[in-house]
């Protein structure tokens, strides 16, 4: 099973991914987590990415695509994975398509979590409070920038995957359990399709 969770910052991608990991025995590949680990470890990629991330912009497609190519080649990905925060641009989605075609495989589904912008602001504020500001980009100013970037660069992926007949949308404004139920229902359909 190979899934993409698509949605704006704070839509609940990470929360739903964690649940799917447990349920289906697949791995969560969060490019944001990988970049934060690189920043914490002070690797060359981390040093390059930190400033870009702190201001809410996107790290370059080349860097991100290479990270995903390397990570998906690791043995624990053989059973499948959930892409959380990738792809974020059309160029990344095209690179992913090429990569999967070369590997002779394909995505199972692209799940869009639909959430209104105002709800995202309050969710991110809550996350910032609960995690004691652990993420440098969890503040209202950077969030506004991240939303702008989402609408300009990532939202076009909705129609990209719609055209390919792969998009499945769920209402991300419901409770965590309700959203999980919606995802389970559509994955059941994808499995029997
Ligand atoms: P996230 O944890 O997914 O919200 O990502 C945090 C930050 O990491 C983003 O605001 C970007 O700066 C960077 N990032 C994560 N994933 C990507 C990606 N696929 N492409 C470009 N930048 C990314």
Q: Give the pLDDT band of residue 193 (cuts 50, 70, 90).
A: low
Question: Does a structural domain hold residue 125?
Answer: yes
Domain that holds residue 88: 2-26+79-192
Report the percentage of the chain scoring pLDDT > 70: 98
In the predicted model, what is the mean pLDDT of residues 185-192? 77
Which atom, in ligand 1's list, is nearest to the CA of 84? 3
Question: Does a structural domain hold residue 37?
Answer: no
The CA 49 to ligand 1 mean position distance, Å, reads 9
Q: Tell me what pLDDT residue 184 has.
A: 95
Residue 186 neighbours by CB under 8 Å, 6+ apart: 109, 111, 168, 170
Per-residue pLDDT tens digits for 50-91: 999 999 999 999 999 999 999 999 999 999 999 999 999 999
Question: Does a structural domain hold residue 93?
Answer: yes
User: For the residues of 88-124, what is the DSSP string, one character each?
Assistant: -SHHHHHHHHHHHHHTT---SEEEEEE--HHHHHHHH
pTM value?
0.92
CATH number at residue 102: 3.40.50.300
Which of 84-98, 107-121, 160-174 is predicted with the least confidence, judged by mean pLDDT? 107-121
Question: Does a structural domain hold residue 58?
Answer: no
Judge whether residue 192 has pLDDT over 80. Answer: no
Question: Does a structural domain hold residue 59?
Answer: no
Q: Tell me what pLDDT residue 65 has.
A: 97
Residue nearest to atom 19 of ligand 1 (CA): 86
Q: Is 164 a catalytic residue?
A: no
Which atom, in ligand 1's list, is nearest to the CA of 149? 10
Q: Is 146 a catalytic residue?
A: yes
Report the percentage of the chain scoring pLDDT > 90: 81
Residue of 66, 87, 88 to mutate, ligand 1, most atoms within 8 A of C-beta: 88
In whole angstroms, give the CA distance from residue 188 to residue 192: 6
Question: Does a structural domain hold residue 50?
Answer: no
Number of structural domains, the chain? Answer: 1
């Amino acid at each position: 099973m190979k899934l993409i969770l698509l949605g704006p910052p704070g839509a609940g991608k990470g929360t739903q991914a964690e649940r799917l990991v447990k349920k289906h025995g697949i791995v969560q590949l969060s490019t944001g987590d990988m970049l934060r680990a690189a920043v914490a470890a002070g690797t060359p990629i981390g040093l390059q990415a930190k400033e870009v991330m702190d201001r809410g912009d996107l790290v370059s497609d080349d860097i991100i695509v290479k990270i995903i190519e390397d990570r998906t080649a690791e043995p624990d990905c053989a059973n499948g994975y959930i892409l959380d925060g990738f792809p974020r641009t059309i160029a990344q989605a095209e690179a992913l398509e090429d990569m999967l075609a070369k590997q002779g495989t394909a995505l199972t589904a692209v799940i869009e979590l639909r959430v209104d912008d105002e709800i995202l602001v309050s969710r991110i504020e809550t996350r910032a409070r609960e995690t004691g500001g652990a993420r440098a980009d969890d503040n209202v100013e950077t969030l506004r920038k991240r939303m702008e970037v989402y609408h300009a660069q990532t939202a076009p992926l909705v129609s990209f995957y719609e055209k390919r007949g792969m998009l499945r949308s769920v209402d991300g404004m419901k409770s965590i359990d309700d959203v999980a139920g919606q995802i389970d229902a559509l994955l059941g359909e994808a499995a029997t399709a």
